[in-house]
Amino acid sequence: MYHNPVLLQQSVDDLVTNSDGIYVDCTFGGGGHSREILSRLSERGKLYSFDQDLDALKNNIDDERFTLINQNFRFLENSLLMYGISEVDGILADLGVSSHQFDEADRGFSTRSDAPLDMRMNVMQSLDAKKVINEYEEEALADIFYHYGELREARKLAREIVHQRKSKKISTTEDLKKLFSYIPPHKQNKFFAQVFQAIRIEVNQELEVLKEMLLQAYKILKPGGRLVVISYHSLEDRLVKRFLKNGMFEGEPQRDIYGNYAKAFELIKSKATIPDEKEIEENSRARSAKMRTGIKL
């Protein structure tokens, strides 16, 4: 079972402005957003969707206007060029892990079930969570927990993992959780969510992949084309917010003598769009979602 698409109507309302246009859904998953986009397109419209997860291919849509590309969206530009597409009218990316990936216990994404330490969105890649936990140096582990999990006790966690793996390999999600059984019960849910998030981001290089996609999205969007991104944690949202503001991820843009700088996008709203209480009640995954939309200048 794939998740209900988050902010479905709002995202596609922002995205589709030309029914004859060419659109991209970077994160196909169960196909919810893609189906809604197709419902807004004419017979001349086209939609190209990306997903690196082999499970997602089972949800392919039988529609002449639709093409599903089994690739990570970091290969956005080159993959589209293979289909003769060099510019598009709009790009949508619904980031993060699908409910399906969480629910498939043997994928190792969920904190709720015992499973092999995996966490790969693309099961064909060699780097998995077991390799990160058992082979990374202590300092690298500490950096991952601090930067990707925003855990203040990152060094302590890394030290504990390195100490424990000397006597026994850490192979499953339960093995990992048992190392931190001293965490008070009322803090465990949040703590393990942060730990798993940090490892998952490293395994899938999620922030680097996001940066690559955003840069390519800007290149292939037509002037007036729209970029819609739904993120689920502050690390992603900060990158998206900065990029839509000035086309950069860090540092300050070059300003003219009047203090102005060349903007990459015009924001539809100054603040992120968030789900209403009804959607959160019906779909718990929506709770942390933030959507930002930019129009390429």
If you search the block for the tokens 């089994």, which residue do you land on? 70
Residue count (the chain): 297
The mean pLDDT values, 10 residues at a time, for the chain of 297 residues are 82 98 96 97 98 91 98 97 98 79 62 87 93 98 98 97 97 95 93 95 96 98 98 96 92 84 91 96 92 97
Q: Is residue 2 part of a domain?
A: no
Residue 54 to residue 56: CA distance in whole angstroms: 5
Give me the pLDDT at residue 280, please: 94
Residues 75 and 218 in one domain: yes
Domain range for 180 is 108-205
31 is in an annotated binding site: yes
73 is in an annotated binding site: yes
Give me the pLDDT at residue 239, please: 97
If you search the block for the tokens 């992603």, which residue do you land on? 236
In which order are the strands placed within the sheet that holds 265-267?
66-69, 46-50, 22-25, 88-94, 221-231, 290-296, 265-267
Residues 201 and 216 in one domain: no
Give me the pLDDT at residue 101, please: 54
Residues 243 and 287 in one domain: yes
Domains in the chain, number: 2
Handedness of CA 237, 240, 245, 248 (dihedral sign): positive
114 is in an annotated binding site: no
Instruction: Show Cβ contacts of residue 146 under 8 Å, excluding neighbours closer than 6 positions.
Output: 152, 154, 155
Residues 112 and 179 in one domain: yes
Residues 120 and 131 in one domain: yes
32 is in an annotated binding site: yes
Q: Is residue 27 part of a domain?
A: yes
Give me the pLDDT at residue 143, please: 98
If you search the block for the tokens 């079930």, which residue do you land on? 113
51 is in an annotated binding site: yes
Residues 132 and 273 in one domain: no
CATH of residue 263's domain is 3.40.50.150
205 is in an annotated binding site: no
